């Protein structure tokens, strides 16, 4: 007998099919069309949102509780793990530990030890389960090495995920140069560091014909470069996180280290440019940037604290707020959260179309709650959105048609 799940009376939101009211049938883990089998388990969705499960691209830490709270069914961890994901054994172990509740799609290191000098064994790591290769939290400064990485990745037909900040300009900076950094006396670097790195990576990607994903773009100049590159046919995509859409560097004003991120928060002009890039389709991926840090790393002077935020659990609620405010439609929102990252990783998932995996989330989009760093699900609660009232909660989640308990 087949396993059948009938999700009835839902408001379906699909990046490919738009919005409609109706039912969804999942048989043996796959979304199907047709009559509902007599033995199917029926769940009354009560008119709530039913959407594809989120694919979170570029997390620093695999955090099951935070992922479940945020509607995330698949994660692509950065190669900066322990050990670094630069050899097939480490990649394969990580790819297997999440199933069946949370599928893990590792991003393998582009260079050995992420040192930016010698190429890693990308082909072998891909065979072991890597879905992309990346530079991790750092940029590859040597243009010759990056050119070889992109050429090798092109031959493997795998995406290179780059962190685009010119390390020579950034140095030990913890803030973006400007009024806020000057007033606080923090080491700062010009926002130009991002555009310089993006320009170099785009030129190399264009020359090699490789697929390039810029993991987190945060500046007007950076988005202008991406738009122009897309217009001339460069195989580039880019992402960002809610922090750069909703916060500017003013959030750092009380030296609150929860706002110490990488890249650092930008000025208000760049924040507005990020919203514009979301609205006009320049941004392809919206992710959490989940990188939880405990008090031993955050309860320090701002310049000494470690960059990173715990935002997987808040990703869905913050994203729904962007739709309510009219920046994106709901189908476009789930393209950013599911279809876009799946495409970067070469995964066939992210829509509610027949034949797709039954990875779906049921959402009460109006459920109010307040972000509380002390009670946020997951390994740590160091979120810059601490105290923010939000709306939207996952009420149920299915992975391949199998319900994942909270």
Q: Decide: 30 and 358 in contact? Cβ < 8 Å.
A: yes
Indicate left, alpha or beta for 370 from its phi (over 0: left) and psi (-120 to 50: alpha): beta
Q: What is the DSSP letter of 136?
A: T
Burial 316-347 (b: 16+ CB within 10 A, else e): bbbbbbbbeeebbebbbbbbbbbbbbbbbbeb
Q: What is the DSSP letter of 121?
A: -
Question: 53-352+365-391 domain in CATH 3.40.630.10?
Answer: no
Q: What is the pTM of this model?
A: 0.96
Number of Cβ within 10 Å of residue 253's Cβ equals 11
Q: What average pLDDT does range 250-261 have in this prediction? A: 94
Q: Tell me what pLDDT residue 10 has.
A: 98
Q: Tell me what pLDDT residue 405 has.
A: 85
Q: Tell me what pLDDT residue 44 has.
A: 97
- pLDDT > 90: percent of the chain: 97
Instruction: Please report how many Cα atoms fall inside a 13 Å half-sphere around the Cα of residue 312, on the Cβ side.
Output: 31
- 337-356 pLDDT, tens digit per residue, is 999 999 999 999 999 999 99
Mean pLDDT rounded to a whole number for the chain: 96
Q: Tell me what pLDDT residue 357 has.
A: 96
What is the C-alpha to C-alpha distance for residues 341 and 350, in angstroms, rounded to an integer?
Answer: 8
Per-residue tokens: 133 = 């290769």
Q: Decide: 385 and 38 in contact? Cβ < 8 Å.
A: no
- 156-170 pLDDT, tens digit per residue, is 999 999 999 999 999
Q: Tell me what pLDDT residue 70 has.
A: 96
Q: How confident is the model at residue 97 (pLDDT cuts 50, 70, 90)?
A: confident
Give residues with Cβ within 8 angstroms of 47, minimum separation 6.
Answer: 9, 10, 11, 21
Give yes or no for residue 99 having a pLDDT over 80: no
Instruction: Tabulate helix, strand, coil % of the chain (nearest 5).
Output: 35, 25, 45
- 26-61 pLDDT, tens digit per residue, is 999 999 998 999 999 999 999 999 999 999 999 999
Whose CA is closest to 14, among 48, 51, 41? 51
- 189-218 pLDDT, tens digit per residue, is 999 999 999 999 999 999 999 999 999 999
Dihedral angle over CA of 209, 211, 214, 220, nearest 10: 50
Tell me whether strands 402-403 and 160-162 are parallel, antiparallel or unpaired.
unpaired
- 383-406 pLDDT, tens digit per residue, is 999 999 999 999 999 999 999 987
Q: How confident is the model at residue 1 (pLDDT cuts 50, 70, 90)?
A: low
Annotated domain spans of the chain: 53-352+365-391
Please report which helix (H) or strand (E) contains residue 161, including its range: strand 160-162
Q: Tell me what pLDDT residue 231 has.
A: 98
């Amino acid at each position: 007998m087949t396993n059948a799940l009938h999700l009835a009376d839902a408001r379906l939101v699909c990046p490919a099919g738009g919005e409609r009211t109706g039912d969804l049938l999942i048989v043996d883990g796959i979304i199907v069309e047709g009559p509902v089998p007599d033995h199917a388990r029926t769940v009354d969705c009560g008119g709530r949102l039913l959407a594809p499960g989120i694919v979170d691209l570029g997390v620093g830490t695999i955090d099951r509780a935070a992922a479940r709270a945020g509607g995330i069914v698949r994660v692509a961890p950065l190669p900066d793990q322990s050990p670094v994901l630069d050899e097939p054994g480490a990649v394969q172990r990580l790819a297997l530990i999440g199933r069946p509740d949370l599928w893990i799609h590792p991003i393998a290191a582009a260079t050995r030890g992420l040192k930016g000098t010698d190429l890693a064994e990308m082909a072998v790591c891909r065979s072991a389960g890597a879905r992309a290769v990346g530079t991790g939290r750092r940029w590859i400064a040597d243009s010759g090495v990056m050119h070889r990485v992109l050429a090798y990745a092109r031959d493997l037909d795998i995406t290179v995920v780059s962190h685009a900040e010119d390390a020579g300009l950034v140095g030990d900076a913890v803030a973006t140069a400007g009024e806020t950094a000057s007033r606080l006396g923090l080491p700062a670097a010009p926002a130009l560091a991002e555009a310089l790195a993006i320009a170099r990576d785009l030129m190399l990607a264009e020359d090699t014909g490789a697929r390039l994903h810029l993991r987190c773009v945060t500046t007007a100049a950076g988005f202008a470069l991406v738009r122009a590159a897309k217009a001339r046919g460069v195989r580039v995509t880019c992402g960002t996180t809610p922090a750069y859409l909703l916060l500017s560097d003013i959030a750092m004003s009380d030296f609150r280290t929860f706002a110490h991120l990488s890249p650092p928060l930008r000025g208000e002009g760049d924040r507005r440019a990020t919203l514009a890039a979301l609205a006009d389709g320049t941004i392809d991926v919206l992710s959490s940037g989940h990188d939880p840090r405990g008090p031993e790393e955050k309860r320090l002077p701002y310049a000494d604290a470690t960059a990173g935020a715990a935002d997987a659990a808040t990703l869905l609620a913050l994203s729904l707020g962007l739709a309510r405010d009219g920046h994106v439609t709901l189908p476009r929102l789930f393209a950013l959260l599911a279809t876009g990252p799946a495409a970067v990783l070469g995964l066939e998932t992210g829509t509610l179309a027949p034949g797709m995996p039954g990875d779906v989330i049921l959402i009460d989009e109006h459920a109010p709650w307040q972000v509380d760093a002390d009670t946020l699900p997951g390994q740590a609660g160091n979120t810059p959105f601490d105290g923010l009232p939000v709306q939207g909660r996952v009420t149920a989640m299915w992975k391949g048609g199998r319900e994942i308990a909270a």
